């Protein structure tokens, strides 16, 4: 049996009372429709509405945005870059440099901005969230392999001179985090996977489909979807993430991620037995990991992996249960024995 049987009592309490965390102060974006025209990047100086202005104006439901969310977004952060294999990788940083480190790795099609309301609440840590190549504000590659992304995670940790940070990865980001630890065990201390299944649970397109271009930001935001689809999302979180998943192109706005990132990958079950560092799994009631799969994953790592089940959430907990996610992460990281 997984779930509560493997969760320390202190963690169970924190998870069930996640809403109290607020005072302590990404996975797949899908756009319906086909491309109406080739996507062309905007040249500097072009007469278009500024990206910042368009992405921050006319936000929906600001009057109903809770204080904890507004305070989290107002926390100081820095945007930095590092070059990996001739590609510029963008990442964001919160917290003092001398604090223990946490690196947040988003899922397929998402970006670092999916963590904007999560990272500031991980108090006591230096938190870094990167855009993997082909995502967010990082550059695109001619093609994508898991090894490219693991190299990017390692490069960010090295660039920030982080002493064996903890990797926290959502969905595909959990696999990238695990493979990063396998490839560079000297750089990291532990890994937390957030609803990372053993295999694809959704159908991937046979061929990449060009993104649709929307004339207005609001039109694109209205079409924001996740894969797998998650019907319940906090409207203010959805609004923020959707707007920061867009970039200006000739003719309007389109999604930042490269459609070519989606392709078949070797089974994750081949990698888990190689994991040299402590590993934990957060799974969700309406996520991609049924109990039987979680049991299989525990077996693959020798039975030593804590598994935490959170009730009520879908595959994307930062969209529907962010405070419970923060509570689980904070308590797990504080209760989990660290690696020297």
0.95 exceeded by the pTM? no
Average pLDDT, rounded, for the chain: 84
Read off the pLDDT of each residue in 180-190 and give the average, rounded to a whole number.
97
User: What letters, b where the CB count within 10 A reaches 16 and e where it falls short, cover 178-198?
Assistant: bbbbbbeeebbbbbbbbbbbb
SS3 90: strand
In this prediction, residue 285 carries a pLDDT of 92
Residue 28 is encoded by which pair of tokens? 């797949």
pLDDT tens digit string along 9-20? Answer: 444 444 444 434
In this prediction, residue 266 carries a pLDDT of 82
In this prediction, residue 69 carries a pLDDT of 97
pLDDT higher than threshold 70 for residue 45: no
In this prediction, residue 204 carries a pLDDT of 60
Helix 9-16 vs helix 322-335: crossing angle, to nearest 10: 160
CATH of domain 3-334: 3.40.50.1820
DSSP 276-308: -S-EEEEEEEESS--HHHHHHHHHHTTT---EE
Picking from 29-38, 202-211, 214-223, 301-310, which range would have the lowest pLDDT averaged per residue? 29-38
Q: 199: pLDDT confidence band, cut at 50, 70 and 90?
A: confident
Q: What is the CA radius of gyration of the chain?
A: 19
Listed residue (260, 285, 83, 294) closest to 174, CA to CA: 294
CB atoms within 10 A of CB 206: 6
In this prediction, residue 263 carries a pLDDT of 78
pLDDT tens digit string along 281-295? Answer: 999 999 999 999 999
pLDDT higher than threshold 90 for residue 63: no
In this prediction, residue 337 carries a pLDDT of 67
Task: Work out whether the CA dihedral 338, 290, 327, 245 comes out positive or negative.
Answer: positive
pLDDT tens digit string along 110-160? Answer: 999 999 999 999 999 999 999 999 999 999 999 999 999 999 999 999 999
pLDDT higher than threshold 50 for residue 338: yes
Contacts of 244 (CB under 8 A, 6+ apart): 55, 111, 113, 116
């Amino acid at each position: 049996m997984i779930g509560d049987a493997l969760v320390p009592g202190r963690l169970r309490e924190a998870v069930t009372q996640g809403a109290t965390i607020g005072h302590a102060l990404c996975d797949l974006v899908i756009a319906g429709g086909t491309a109406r025209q080739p996507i062309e990047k905007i040249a500097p100086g072009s007469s278009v509405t500024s990206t910042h202005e368009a992405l921050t104006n006319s936000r929906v439901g600001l009057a109903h945005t809770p204080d904890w969310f507004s305070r989290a977004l107002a926390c100081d952060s820095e945007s930095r870059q590092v070059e990996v294999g001739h590609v510029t990788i963008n990442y964001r940083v919160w917290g003092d440099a001398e604090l223990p480190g946490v690196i947040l790795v988003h899922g397929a099609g998402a970006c670092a901005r999916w963590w904007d309301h999560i990272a500031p609440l991980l108090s006591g840590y230096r938190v870094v969230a990167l855009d993997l190549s082909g995502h967010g504000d990082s550059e695109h590659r001619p093609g994508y392999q898991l090894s490219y992304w693991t190299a990017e995670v390692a490069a960010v940790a090295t660039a920030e001179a982080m002493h064996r940070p903890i990797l926290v990865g959502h969905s595909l980001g959990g696999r990238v985090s695990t493979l990063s630890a396998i490839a560079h065990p000297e750089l990291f201390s532990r890994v937390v996977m957030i609803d990372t299944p053993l295999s694809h649970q959704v159908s991937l397109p046979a061929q990449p489909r060009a993104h649709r271009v929307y004339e207005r930001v609001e039109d694109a935001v209205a079409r924001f979807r996740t894969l797998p689809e998650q019907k319940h999302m906090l409207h203010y979180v959805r609004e923020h993430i959707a707007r920061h998943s867009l970039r200006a192109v000739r003719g309007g706005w389109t999604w930042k991620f490269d459609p070519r990132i989606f392709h078949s990958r070797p089974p994750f079950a081949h990698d888990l037995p190689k994991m040299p560092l402590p590993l934990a799994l957060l799974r969700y009631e309406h996520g991609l990991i049924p109990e039987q799969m979680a049991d299989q994953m525990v077996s693959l790592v020798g039975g030593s992996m804590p598994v935490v089940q959170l009730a009520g959430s879908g595959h994307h907990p930062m969209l529907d249960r962010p405070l419970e996610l923060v509570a689980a992460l904070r308590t797990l990281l504080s209760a989990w024995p660290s690696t020297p």
